Amino acid sequence: MSTIVQKFGGTSVGSTERIKRMADRVMREKEKGHDVVVVVSAMGKTTDALVKLVSDITSEPSKREMDMLLSTGEQVTISLLSMALQQQGVEAISFTGWQAGIQTDSVLGNAHIQSIDTGRILNELDHGKVVVVAGFQGVTEDGDISTLGRGGSDITAAALASALKADRCDIYTDVDGVYTSDPRFVPKASKLTSLSYEDMQNLASMGAGVLHPRAVKHAKKFGIPLYIKSSFEKGRGTMIHGKAKQIGSNPVIGVTFEKDINRVEMFDCEDVEGFRKALMCELASRHIQADVYKQTCRNSLSLLIKEQDLQEVLSILDKEKEKWMYSRIERKRGLSKVSVIGQNIKSQPAIKMDMCKILLENAVRVKLVGESAISVTAVVEKSQVQLAAERLHTGFGLDYKVVMKASM
């Protein structure tokens, strides 16, 4: 018996009508003879409505109570989808995160899954039931409800697929696959029909929002194929698996960008390297992603962080001020990052040079250039990021063609 995990995002279950359509999809998979586990997000606008209630009450809600609140969203969807399945004669049972045995660490609001006790799910699958699990949520060792942060339901689906050694994890979403860049902003972006885990991780970690890098990591661990496809359109999506090979010689597989980036710089630190290490450690413990650069010439430390993390990061820096003795702090909002992605890019210095050249030729003002093993990143004004992404996409030969082919 093969096991399939299906994940439906918020748009896919945005109304009772859509929930019924998704129930059809689940039923079709079940009728093929598979064991089916379904992971769902909160219905479309539910989270926004809950956040609106909070804003009437406080501007600084505790993370524990936010997780308590937001986790109700998926709980509504699992019950409704189970009812829709039962209505069609399919035996189904819903589980919240804690009922599904999803144990997380205690970084509330942005928790990481630590283990999954699949006993209850396996028992229900053995009884022939479809198991519908609430995505995005789990439970801490202390019995608090936790949420997994952005992309959380994908993470739940991939982690469950891994824990169950599923044959495939299908991610139904409102886009029809993974592209060389975000097609909403780069019209000539091409669909990638097959991708390795590594390439997907690289794209995702540098801003390709279609999938969270941790979801890819979970799937990669036990080699579970991840299939990204549209909930609403037919046609082939993107398969992410261990057997994908690069076709062609282009070392660049995509151009990613993040629009709302803040730069925070601390000047005249006494021990820049010590500060950098302590800060990286603190940010990691809170699961906050940040690029940290030091400029030894002026003993300054620069952070590039997402808008949503700004308040938390500033409060950390405020607490650390006495210890690290920086003289002043400067922040700049309205920045963006644009990156070209490919494996071992660092070993090909021509790419960085080409990138700078393309940006210069198109009058994009570059604030900062950084690089990692898999990317070169430029920080630019938010107003110029779309121009930059489009020109880099063209410049690196990514326009309008399927640059990777399935090799299954």
Chain contacts with a copy of itself (rule: CB under 8 A): 16-17, 19-20, 50, 53-54, 56-58, 60-62, 64-66, 68-69, 71-72, 75-76, 78-80, 82-84, 86-87, 93-94, 96, 98-99, 120, 143-145
Query: Minimum distance from CB of 87 to a copy of itself (Å)?
Result: 4
Query: Minimum distance from CB of 153 to a copy of itself (Å)?
Result: 17
The dihedral through the CA atoms of 386, 392, 395, 400 has a sign that is: negative
Let me know how long the chain is: 408
Are 238 and 177 in contact by the 8 Å Cβ rule? The answer is yes
Query: Minimum distance from CB of 320 to a copy of itself (Å)?
Result: 25
Of 167 and 312, which CB lies nearer to a copy of itself in the complex structure?
312
Selection from 253, 232, 312, 298 nearest residue 11 by Cα: 232
Query: Minimum distance from CB of 315 to a copy of itself (Å)?
Result: 16
Run of H or E residues at 282:
helix 272-285
> Scanning the structure block, which residue is given the tokens 């730069």?
263
Helix 310-324, helix 272-285: angle, nearest 10: 140
Of 106 and 289, which CB lies nearer to a copy of itself in the complex structure?
106
Selection from 26, 137, 163 nearest residue 90 by Cα: 26
Of 68 and 278, which CB lies nearer to a copy of itself in the complex structure?
68
The span from the CA of 145 to the CA of 102, in Å, is 10
Query: Minimum distance from CB of 7 to a copy of itself (Å)?
Result: 19
Of 17 and 322, which CB lies nearer to a copy of itself in the complex structure?
17
Query: Minimum distance from CB of 82 to a copy of itself (Å)?
Result: 5
Query: Minimum distance from CB of 317 to a copy of itself (Å)?
Result: 24
Of 23 and 210, which CB lies nearer to a copy of itself in the complex structure?
23
Of 87 and 115, which CB lies nearer to a copy of itself in the complex structure?
87
Of 86 and 114, which CB lies nearer to a copy of itself in the complex structure?
86
SS3 of 149-164 = CCCHHHHHHHHHHHHC
Are 31 and 186 in contact by the 8 Å Cβ rule? The answer is no
